[in-house]
A = this chain, B = another copy of it.
């Protein structure tokens, strides 16, 4: 698959899709960790240690990518994920702040 497959343009990011993607605690945790990291910080899918199988991890990252929340680029063997900070902030100002403010207690340990 080509690199930029399934990455919607900034203007095409739909609120419904974004909210549906963020309704899942695991996906919210990924976005939160990316947002807490350095700007444009790239991490591999497996570095999040989600408590689900490999196939499910792929599924969640695809959901985030198709919603327009993350960008995934092939880098040799693995695939790096970055948060589309500027795009999200432009379309939905304040959304990332709401996510990072969430307590990390019960949600998706």
List chain A positions with a Cβ less than 8 A from chain B: 15-16, 19-20, 22-23, 25, 28, 92-95, 97-99, 101-102, 107
Contacts and interface: CB of A to CB of B under 8 A. Distances in A.
Given A15-B99, A16-B25, 4 more contacts: A15-B102, A16-B28, A20-B23, A93-B98
Contact of A94 (B25, B28, B95, B107): B95
Contact of A23 (B16, B94, B99): B16
Contacts of A28: 15-16, 19
Contacts of A20: 23
Contacts of A25: 16
Contacts of A93: 94, 97-98
